[in-house]
Structure 1
Amino acid sequence: MNSLPQKISITEALNQACQNIVRTDARMLLQKILGVNHAYLITHPEQQLTLDQTQKFHSLITQRIRGEPVAYLTGEREFYSLNFQITSAVLIPRPETELLVELALERISMSQSCEVLDLGAGSGVVAISIAKNRPLAKVTAVDCSAEALAIAKINIKHLDVNNVCAIIGDWFNGLSLTNKFNLIACNPPYIANEDPHLNYGDLRFEPRLALVGGEDGFDCIRSIINTATRYLVIGGWLLLEHGHDQAETCKQLLIEKGFINVLSYPDLAGILRVSGGIYEGEF
């Protein structure tokens, strides 16, 4: 990337950055440096950047050229109309995962208290989005990473949520068998160990622990389905996000474990992205 001049306007900074990265990325990085929103950039095109701002913008552009995700460079990402703080210790929230939240909300009453569990909570986007929209729900967010859980706790405080409890644990470890939930939602690691996609795009920079699910990608999914029945009330729901080609296997695993009303649900692209069912009790 060519060096940016010491005196440069917002328009000039964006135009030069766009020689190397897409405009949307450049805009988001500049907004971060200036501490402003998109509308401000549009209405103040001639504003001059300070030397310090120019140097910081240049540094972020260089990192983006190397492939580092914009969300990690800005330290934030919007999800379900909420702004979450994130770091490289957690997955970057994706629009597809909003389907998991929507399906959970459809199954949680607005007028009655219930217990909800978010497994592998990461930055807390699923747990917090559910809690914000269902204030009577008591949401437990579990993650095995202390770093990830620290980010979740920051977001809980930042977004002023008082009905989420974040605890450390490897899936159900750390929970008591007396804990019973009306709904369990999970976006587990589901990429196979040797999947070539791990070497491209944002996945290169995201924590492998949160991505990789064993030789066939189903290790975590199997473990969760096999154990979830111990923690669900009769009539409780288990909802799992999974890969684009994993719906049929997920449904079969759920059926084999005794879940009923097992279905898979498409995301906005028409890809079957979440599967789930109802726990009917031992059979």
Structure 2
Amino acid sequence: MEIKPSVWTIGEILQWTKQYFSGKGVDNPRLDAEVLLSHILHRDRLYLYVHYDQPLAPDELIAFRECVRKRAARIPVAYITGEREFFGLMFTVSADVLVPRPETELLVEAVLKRLESRPAPRIVDLGTGSGAIAVSLLTQLPAATAVAIDISAAALVIAEENAKRHGLADRLELRQGDFWQPAAGMLFDAIVSNPPYIPADDVAALAPEVRTEPVLALDGGKDGLDYYRRLLTDGYSHLAPGGFMAIEIGISQADAIRSLAEQSPFVIQEILLDYAGIERVVVLTGRGRENVEN
């Protein structure tokens, strides 16, 4: 990769980078170029348009060139910048956690809708990763507390940083361990999870950017359903009276989740579609509690 001229304006470097990224098969080449340049300049993207003819300083050009090199190697933009926006908040991310995705905001919205009238809800976020789900919920529910669980110690370091970043360290308890194990004996008003759900044999065929993310956060076992089985088998014993479970699912997994639910202590209350019309979030209540207001 070469950026030959010694002086580039913002407009020129964005146009060059868009073409370069396109040639490398990068999705959204213009957007990625703008996000990376905004990161280097410590400015928002609007600044780039207002100052289209502004020359870049030599140190800015050098730093941007390194970002472009990484992105062309299909490293996710969020790992390059160290940040990702989710639910209107900025989160620290690293290669130790899954990059928060827009469709997961639907999961947060579904939980908020059901908890907003409760006085002091208790939440558990299983497989918390960056903590984006738990932190987003707590920012909107000032009386709530949450337990965030992850098997990865490195992921919990990032989650702790995000809790502190948003002033929630006193309301978010971080626990390391294998799924339910750290929550032994605890009851929750809301059980929330975006678990690994990619079938093991499909992981190698994912986009290069996705394959850079932690395999622990992607691999859902042979059929992609391992963690849903654990959620539906063991979750009932952690459900407070009137509580519910909300989970994100993968494409074409809704029918399998329906079958699992029929054999579990849970009953599906609602399945929500994402903006692409895909069944994405499943809300369940304890069997026999279907009519409880949430």
Residue of structure 2 in register with 1:190 after alignment:
197
Q: Work out whether 1:200 is the aligned partner of 2:227.
A: no
Question: 1:182: how far off?
Answer: 0.7
Which letter does structure 2 place at the counterpart of 1:17? T
Q: Of the candidates 108, 122, 132, which is equivalent to residue 129 of structure 2?
A: 122
Residue of structure 2 in register with 1:10 after alignment:
10
Which letter does structure 2 place at the counterpart of 1:127? A
Residue of structure 2 in register with 1:254 after alignment:
261
For 1:83 and 1:119, the matched residues in 2 are separated by 21
Change (3 A) 1:144 1:198: farther
Q: Of the candidates 33, 50, 54, which is equivalent to residue 47 of structure 1?
A: 54
For 1:204 and 1:159, the matched residues in 2 are separated by 29
Change (3 A) 1:197 1:47: same
Question: 1:242: how far off?
Answer: 1.0
For 1:52 and 1:244, the matched residues in 2 are separated by 44
TM-score, length-scaled by structure 1:
0.94
Question: 1:110: how far off?
Answer: 4.0
| Structure 2 contact 122–144 (Cα < 8 Å) conserved | yes
Moved more, 107-116 or 197-206: 197-206
Residues 198-251 of structure 1 deviation map (CA, whole Å, 9 limit, x = unaligned): 442421111100000111111111112111111111321011111111111112
Q: Of the candidates 173, 176, 179, which is equivalent to residue 165 of structure 1?
A: 173
For 1:146 and 1:56, the matched residues in 2 are separated by 31
Q: Map residues 95-110 of structure 1 onto 2, 5 A cutoff.
A: 95-110=102-117
Moved more, 189-198 or 95-104: 189-198
Question: Any gaps of 5 or more consecutive residues in structure 2?
Answer: 22-28, 290-294
| Structure 1 contact 110–136 (Cα < 8 Å) conserved | no
Question: 1:152: how far off?
Answer: 0.7
Equivalent pairs counted in the alignment come to: 281
Q: Of the candidates 206, 213, 231, which is equivalent to residue 224 of structure 1?
A: 231
For 1:229 and 1:248, the matched residues in 2 are separated by 21
For 1:157 and 1:166, the matched residues in 2 are separated by 12
| Structure 1 contact 4–58 (Cα < 8 Å) conserved | no
Indicate the percent of aligned positions where both proteins have the same amino acid: 37
Q: Of the candidates 270, 274, 279, which is equivalent to residue 281 of structure 2?
A: 274
For 1:254 and 1:116, the matched residues in 2 are separated by 21
Corresponding residue SS for 2:19: coil
Corresponding residue SS for 1:174: helix
For 1:108 and 1:203, the matched residues in 2 are separated by 32
Question: 1:280: how far off?
Answer: 4.0
| Structure 1 contact 29–60 (Cα < 8 Å) conserved | yes
Q: Work out whether 1:79 is the aligned partner of 2:77.
A: no
- Please report the RMSD computed on the Cα atoms of aligned residues, expressed in angstroms: 1.7
TM-score, length-scaled by structure 2:
0.91
Which letter does structure 2 place at the counterpart of 1:184? I
Residues 120-145 of structure 1 deviation map (CA, whole Å, 9 limit, x = unaligned): 00001100111111111111111111
Q: Of the candidates 34, 41, 50, which is equivalent to residue 27 of structure 1?
A: 34
Corresponding residue SS for 1:274: strand
Residue of structure 2 in register with 1:134 after alignment:
141
Which letter does structure 1 place at the counterpart of 2:171? N
Residues 31-66 of structure 1 deviation map (CA, whole Å, 9 limit, x = unaligned): 111111112112222222221211111111111112
Q: Work out whether 1:112 is the aligned partner of 2:114.
A: no
For 2:219 and 2:282, the matched residues in 1 are separated by 19
| Structure 1 contact 86–92 (Cα < 8 Å) conserved | yes
For 2:221 and 2:268, the matched residues in 1 are separated by 28
Corresponding residue SS for 2:90: strand
